[in-house]
């Protein structure tokens, strides 16, 4: 039907649902790991990224709920998820302000190892979602963009760990945290644009 985008096939949707459920569970599991490490070493970038894992969990569960809805309803949910993508950025700014007030460098080795683990999880999630990124409109696009951007952020976190080891400075970690904030802003913009296009395409 014209008011459904990419979910017409009964054979395609169950596979999409299964993959998105796996991605949601992977994000939830690593949120716990990364949040614990961030709290232990006082890392802005890891804290921001752990909140992002929790946001990704919510994002993918919302996608599961909305699959099969009409294009207009999916577009409305996509616009909402564009706003949800801002949540980790707000948490990052709050944590960064605390780091400005108390500029202590996090432990470099746990920072890099946690970033490496996050990179593995997010790369797997992006790979799993890649073939579905256009199948569910703005919703699955939101999930794919989030996983892709998180993988890029994790590479920066690993680099921050290496720089911290050499400089014993808190600024690489802080800079990466602010970069994660900027990427979440850009992802939110892309999801809003996709949702707007989807809504216009569903109009009679």
For residue 92, the number of C-alpha atoms closer than 13 Å in the C-beta half-sphere is 28
Does a structural domain hold residue 6? no
For residue 86, the enclosing domain spans 12-202
Does a structural domain hold residue 1? no
> Could you identify the residue written with the tokens 């992802």?
187
Does a structural domain hold residue 183? yes
Does a structural domain hold residue 7? no
**Averaged pLDDT for residues 38-58:** 86
Model-level pTM greater than 0.85? Answer: no
> Could you identify the residue written with the tokens 């993988």?
151
Does a structural domain hold residue 2? no
d(CA 146, CA 122): 9
- N- to C-terminal Cα distance for the chain? 12
Does a structural domain hold residue 3? no
Does a structural domain hold residue 121? yes
Q: How many domains does the chain contain in total?
A: 1
The answer to whether the CB of 49 falls within 8 A of the CB of 34 is: yes
The b/e string for 149-184 (b: 16+ C-beta within 10 A; e otherwise) is: bbbebbbbbbebbebbeeeeebebbbbbbebbbebb
In this predicted model, what pLDDT tens digit does every residue of 51-60 receive, in sequence order? Answer: 889 888 877 8
Does a structural domain hold residue 190? yes
Residue 110 has a pLDDT of 94
Give the E-state strand segments of the chain in sequence order: none
Who wins on pLDDT, 65 or 20? 20
In this predicted model, what pLDDT tens digit does every residue of 150-197 receive, in sequence order? Answer: 888 899 999 999 999 999 898 999 888 888 777 777 767 776 776 677
């Amino acid at each position: 039907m014209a008011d459904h985008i990419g979910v017409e096939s009964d054979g395609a949707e169950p596979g999409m649902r299964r993959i998105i459920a796996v991605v949601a569970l992977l994000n939830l599991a690593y949120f716990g790991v990364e949040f614990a490490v961030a709290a232990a070493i006082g890392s802005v970038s890891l804290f921001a990224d752990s909140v992002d894992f929790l946001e990704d969990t919510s994002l993918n569960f919302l996608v599961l709920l909305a699959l099969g809805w009409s294009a207009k309803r999916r577009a409305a949910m996509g616009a909402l998820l564009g706003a949800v993508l801002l949540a980790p950025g707000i948490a990052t700014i709050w944590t960064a302000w605390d780091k400005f007030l108390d500029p202590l460098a996090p432990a470099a080795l746990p920072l890099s190892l946690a970033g490496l683990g996050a990179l593995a999880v997010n790369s797997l999630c992006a790979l799993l979602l890649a073939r579905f990124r256009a199948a569910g409109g703005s919703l699955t696009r939101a999930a794919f963009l989030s996983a892709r951007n998180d993988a890029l952020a994790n590479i920066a976190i690993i680099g921050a760990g290496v720089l911290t080891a050499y400089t014993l400075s808190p600024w690489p970690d802080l800079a990466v945290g602010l970069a994660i904030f900027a990427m979440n802003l850009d992802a939110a913009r892309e999801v809003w644009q996709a949702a707007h296009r989807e809504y216009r395409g569903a109009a009679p």
